Amino acid sequence: MNLITRSEEIILLIILKLGEEAYGVQIREQIFKDTGDVWSFASIYTPLDKLTRKEYVRKTKGDPSPERGGKSKFYYQVTDDGLKALREIQAAQKQFWSGVPDIQTQNNN
């Protein structure tokens, strides 16, 4: 089984969540909203780049916008392969968790 990494998983999920508006700045902000961590652009681009190469996401060029100094936004969309990878990791997660005692109430001390 070839699972995606955690950062890739987070980014894929966030792209799904953002839908039409999934581009660099938004993705980064959403990560901040969801996790409370500030990710650098570099740490977003690296997994995005890998995902693009694996064709789990597709990159499309949007219209130029003035707040970006006239440069285009690049939107990301999860592909079918990407969805498949997410399903795989979800299944794996379930498998990992199944049979684990309830960690919310357990106390090992």
Partner 1 sequence: MKRASKDNTGIPLLLRIILLLAVSEDDFDQYCGDLEEAYIQCRKTKGKFAAYIFLVKQLLSSIPGIIYSNIYWGGTMFRNYFKIALRNFNRSKLFSVVNISGLSLGMALVLYILLFVKFHLSFDKFHKDVDRIYKVGIMTKSDRGTEWAGSNMSPVGETIKNNFPQVEESARVVNVFEPAIKYSDRMIKGHSGIYAESSFFRIMNFPIIAGDTKTPLERKNTVIFTKTLASKIFDKVSPIGKIVRINNEEMEVTAVIEDYPPDTDFDLDLYVSWKNAEDWQWMGWNLLSRATITYVKLKDGIDPKQFEKMISNIPAEHCSEEMKQKNMEAKLFLFPFKDNHLYTWENGYREGRKALSYVYILSGVGILILLIACVNFMNLSTARASLRAREVGVRKVIGANRRQLVKQFMGESFLSVIISAALGLVLLFLFTPYFNELTDIKILFENIWSSDSVLGLCAIVILTGLISGLYPAFYLSRYSPAVVLKGETSGTAKGVTLRKILVITQFTITVILMLVTIVMFKQVGFMKDHYLGFDKEQKLIIALTDWEMITDNFESAKNEFLSNSSLTKASAASGIPGVFVNNLYIESEIHGVRSSNGPRCLRCDYDFLKLLDVNLLAGRFFEKERVSNPDESGLVINESASKMFGFKSPDEAVGSTVYIGGDTSTEIIGVTKDFHWVGLQTEIEPLVMRYVPELFKYITLQLNTENISETMEFIEDKYKELFPGQVFDYMFVDENFDKLYREEDRLVGLFTTVTLLGIGIACLGLFGLAAFMVDRKRKEIGVRRVLGATVRNIVIMITKEYAGWVIIANLIGWPIGYYVMQKWLEDFAYRTSIGLSIFFIALLIGLGIALCTVLVQAIRAALSNPVEALKYE
Please give the residue ranges that form the binding site for partner 1 (CB under 8 A): 23-25, 28, 40-43, 45-46, 59, 61, 65-74
| Rounded distance between C-alpha atoms, residue 89 and residue 56, angstroms | 13
For partner 1, the closer of residues 72 and 93 by Cβ is 72
For partner 1, the closer of residues 3 and 38 by Cβ is 38
Q: Both tokens of residue 82? A: 């990407």
- Residue 44: phi and psi, rounded to 5, are -90, -40
| Rounded distance between C-alpha atoms, residue 5 and residue 10, angstroms | 9
Residue 31 CB, nearest approach to partner 1 (Å): 13
Residue 107 CB, nearest approach to partner 1 (Å): 38
